[in-house]
Amino acid sequence: MARDYRKACARLCMALAIAGGLAGDAWAANPQRDLLKRLNGRWTGGEIYLLIDFERMQGNMDKERPFSRAPLQIRSVAGNMVVFAIGPEQLVGYLERDKLSVSRPGYPPVELRRLK
C-alpha cells in the first residue's frame, strides 16, 4: 500500500514538473510579458512621475517619496496598451518605444518619457 502511494506521488510530482516547465516556456515567449518588461523603469512628463518595478510588482507615483512603493496590479494587456493600478490609482498606458502615454480618470492624457 505504501509503495503504491509513493509511486502515485512520484507520478504526480513528475506531471507537475513537466506542466510547470511547459507553462514557464509559454510565459517566457509571451509578447505581453515583453511589453510589461519594457514598462520597467522611471517615467516622467507633465506633473506625473511613475516608477514601475515589474519584477517585484511594485510602483510609485510620488516623486517626493522615492523609496515608497505600492502594489502594481496589471488589469489588462492588449497590443501596446496596458491597464494597470499603482496602489489605488488606476491608469491606462500606451507604450511606443521610450514614450508612454498615460491617462487616468479625471485628468487629461499625458505623454511620459523614460528617465535614464
CATH numbers and ranges of domains, the chain: 31-115 (2.40.128.210)
Q: What is the dihedral of CA 53, 54, 58, 59, to 10 degrees?
A: 60
**End-to-end Cα, the chain, rounded Å:** 62
**Own/partner pairs for 106-111, CB < 8 Å, 24+ apart?**
110/45, 110/46, 110/47, 110/48, 111/45, 111/46
- Other Cβ atoms closer than 10 A to 41: 16
Mean pLDDT along residues 41-46: 92
List, for residues 57-104, the tens digit of each pLDDT value: 999 999 898 889 999 999 999 989 999 999 999 999 999 988 999 999
Burial grade of 72 (CB within 10 A; 0-12, 13-18, 19 or more): buried
